[in-house]
Structure 1
Amino acid sequence: MLKKKMLRDIKSNYAQFFSIFILAVVAMWCFTGFQSDVIGGRRAMSAFSESSNFSDGWIYGSEFDIEQADRVKATPNNHCTSDTQSNFSSDWLNLPQEY
């Protein structure tokens, strides 16, 4: 009995049921589109960072001494180039205390 009533209601209000169905399909389509964009963006960013060999971190400080700079250079998986290692010069390390 309930099934017959349900089918009769759907027949009499077909346009409303169909429009709700279309809205649900469009909402799912938008959600999956946005989600795939986020997933693709993360993969692209990961691939770019792997291929460009961009640094994972930077160390800034105004009171480094030579010993601390040498310990940073000696850490495992430290891929400092000669350009970045030259930044640990004695002139750079003797900054005024105002900084």
Structure 2
Amino acid sequence: MSKEENPEAFYAKLKEQLLETTQWPSEYLYKFIVLSDLHKIAEIEAIFDFSGAVIKTKESSNGKYTSISINVRMENPDVVIAKYIEIGEKVEGVISL
């Protein structure tokens, strides 16, 4: 089952897994892939602005895509999921890993 087919079930399972495997608050690593478009990268970075996040980007070998890794301290699984949803709503064509 993918997030696109049933987002509620996907996020419910993710929340359950995060509660079982992590003590909160905790560091969380987000990973995204977007087209190498400075505007899209900036949109993602802005969502994590002022959160103390460590953001690293790496362009693909052909330069078409950019991977973005964001390490940030999160309070609980609900906050983690809220960021995924916000990114999905605000940044067109983003792939969450």
Q: TM-score, normalised by structure 2?
A: 0.31
Higher strand fraction: Structure 1 or Structure 2?
2
Bigger-Rg structure (1/2): 1
Bigger helix fraction? 1
- TM-score normalised by the chain length of structure 1: 0.31
